[in-house]
Amino acid sequence: MRLAKPLVALTAAISLIGLAGCGGSDDSSDSKTVKIAYQKFGNFTQADELFQGVKKEFEAANPGTTVELVPIEASQNDYFTKLALMNRSASTAPDLMYEDTFMIKSDVEAGYLAPLDDYLKDWSDWSLYLDAAKQAGKGDDGKTYGVSMGTDTRALWYNKEVFAAAGLPTEWAPKTWDDVLEAARTIKASDPSVIPFNMYSGKPMGEASVMQGFEMLEYGTGGTLYDEASSKWVVGNPDFIDSLGFVNTVFSEGLAPTAEQALDANIGNTVASDWLPNNKLGIALDGSWMGGTWMESGGTPWAKWTDVMGVAPMPTKNGDAPGSVSMSGGWTLAVGAKSKNPELAFKVLTTAMNAKNSLAFTIDNSQIAVRSDVAADPSYTAANPTIKAFTDLVAVTHFRPATSDYAQISNAIQVAMESVMTGQQTPEEAAAAYDKAVIGVVGEENTTSGS
C-alpha cells in the first residue's frame, strides 16, 4: 500500500503509447490465456513477486494455459489511468486486475468489472474471509466484484535515532496534534538538515495524499467528509478548514519537505528507501506496509529497522475520544468484465489467494490479515514486530466513503491541499473552492452543511 483524476488528452496519449509496450497486444484473445494487470512501482514490488509465483504454479498445474503478466510501472494516479485505458477495449482489457477498494464502485459503474458471486458460492475458502473484507469488494448493487488481498492501517512512524539526537523520548506517544507539531519543531531546531515531518500532500501522490494525509486529520477532528445517514457530502465544514490548517502549519513553518520535494511523485519511495533509513526524516505519517519494504524480502532491506523505527498512533486533534485515529483500505483481485474466459480467470484468482499465497503476500507486504486461517498462523504475527500495533488500530479506524463519485471528491481534496501547501490559497479559500467543486460533482441537493 497503497491509490483518480480526470483524464486529459495529453495523459491519455502518453498512456496509450506506454500500453503498446506493456501488454497491449491481442495475444490474450486466446481463451486459455489469463492476463493479469497490476501496479509495479519503485519499492512496491510485492504484487509482482506474488504473480510471478502464481504464473509458475498455475501453468504447471494446468498444462496448455498461459498466465500473462502485465506489470504497470506507474505511480498511483497514472496506474489507475492506464488501467482504465486498458479496460476500454476488449483487445487490451485484463482478465484479472489489481484493484484498489476505493475504485471498485466507480469501475463497476464504468463497466470494467465482472460480478463474482456465482463463483464465490462454490469456493470453500470464501468462508474464511472476514465480513469487513467481504464488504470491501462489493458494488452499489450488493454484488461482489473484488476479493480482498489484505487491509492496512496508518500511524506515525518515527526514527528513534533522530528523536534521541533531538532530546525527544524514544518511546513516543503524542496525545494531540500540537504534540506532533512540537516534536517536529524540536527536531528542526536540533538539526535543520533533518526533515522533521512528512505527510503526503498534493496531486502527484494522488489518493495517498488524501487517505494518508488529509483524512487522517479530518477524521481526527471528529468530523466527516460524507454523512452516511443522509447519503450526502458535507460542505461548509469547519473541520475541513482545521485539517487544511494543519497542512498549512507544517509547510509554512518548514516542518515538512519543501513543496518541490513533496510534489515529486516518487516521494513515497524516497521516504522508505532513503530518508528514514538514513536519518534524514524524523516522523512519517504512513501505512502499516512500510515494514514490508525493509524486510529481507522487501524492496529496500534494512536490517536495523526494527531497532530504529517506532510506531505511534496518530492522535485526534485535541486528544478527544477515542484518542487516536487511523484509516483503512486495501487491494483486491477483480475479474475484468471483458474477459473471454472469466471462469478460468477466477480459477487463477483462487490460486493467487489460496492459503499459502495469501499468507506469503500478507507477511511480505506487511498487510493486516483478512482470512481467519492467515490471522491464526504463528508465522504471521512472528514475521513483523509492528503488526500488533497496526492491527490494534483497527479499533479506531475509518474507511473512505464507498461511493462511485469518491474519486472525483478525492481529486478536489488533492487540489485543496496543494493550493494550501504552496501558499496559493489560505485554508479558508481552499475549503471554499473544495465546496464549490463538490457541488459541481454531486449537485447541491446531494450536499449538507457541516457548520
Q: Do 177 and 293 lie in a common domain?
A: yes
Q: Do 283 and 185 lie in a common domain?
A: yes
Residue 410 lies in a domain: no
Q: How many domains does the chain have?
A: 2
Residue 356 lies in a domain: yes
Strand 232-235 and strand 226-227: the pairing is antiparallel
Question: What's the whole-number average pLDDT of the chain?
Answer: 91
Q: Do 301 and 320 lie in a common domain?
A: yes
Sign of CA dihedral 331, 83, 266, 68: positive
pLDDT recorded at residue 239 = 97
pLDDT per residue as tens digits for the range 147-169 = 999 999 999 999 999 999 999 99
Residue 90 lies in a domain: yes
Q: Do 56 and 184 lie in a common domain?
A: no
Asked if pLDDT for residue 422 goes beyond 90, the answer is: yes
Q: Which residues contact 200 (CB under 8 A, 6 or more apart)?
A: 208, 209, 212, 213, 262, 267, 268, 285
pLDDT recorded at residue 44 = 67
Asked if pLDDT for residue 6 goes beyond 60, the answer is: no
Residue 133 lies in a domain: yes
Select from 304, 328, 352 the last residue of a domain.
328
**Cα radius of gyration rounded to whole Å, the chain:** 21
Question: At 2, is the pLDDT very low, low, confident or very high (cuts 50, 70, 90)?
Answer: very low
The share of the chain scoring above pLDDT 70, in percent, equals 93
Select from 366, 392, 413 the last residue of a domain.
366
pLDDT per residue as tens digits for the range 358-404 = 999 999 888 999 999 999 999 998 988 999 999 999 999 999 987 88
Residue 4 lies in a domain: no
Q: Do 168 and 302 lie in a common domain?
A: yes
The share of the chain scoring above pLDDT 90, in percent, equals 82
Select from 366, 381, 412 the last residue of a domain.
366
pLDDT recorded at residue 15 = 37
Residue 283 belongs to domain spanning: 154-328
Between 3 and 308, where is the model more confident? 308
Residue 373 lies in a domain: no
Q: Do 105 and 189 lie in a common domain?
A: no
d(CA 268, CA 280): 14
Least trusted range by pLDDT, from 35-49, 119-133, 240-254: 35-49
pLDDT recorded at residue 313 = 98
Residue 116 CB coordination number (10 Å)? 24
Q: Do 169 and 278 lie in a common domain?
A: yes
CATH number at residue 14: 3.40.190.10
pLDDT per residue as tens digits for the range 273-328 = 999 999 999 999 999 999 989 998 888 999 999 999 999 999 999 999 999 999 99
Q: Do 260 and 130 lie in a common domain?
A: no
Whether 158 and 123 have beta carbons less than 8 Å apart is answered as: no
Across residues 16-37, what is the average pLDDT? 59
Across residues 142-147, what is the average pLDDT? 97
pLDDT per residue as tens digits for the range 47-97 = 899 999 999 999 999 999 999 999 999 887 789 999 999 999 999 999 999
Residue 295 lies in a domain: yes
Q: Do 115 and 164 lie in a common domain?
A: no
Asked if pLDDT for residue 27 goes beyond 60, the answer is: no
Least trusted range by pLDDT, from 198-207, 225-234, 290-299: 290-299
Q: Do 308 and 264 lie in a common domain?
A: yes
Question: At 43, is the pLDDT very low, low, confident or very high (cuts 50, 70, 90)?
Answer: low
- Torsion angles phi and psi, residue 312, rounded to 5: -130, 140
Q: Do 132 and 186 lie in a common domain?
A: no
3-state secondary structure of 116: coil
Q: Do 97 and 241 lie in a common domain?
A: no
pLDDT recorded at residue 10 = 30
Residue 380 lies in a domain: no
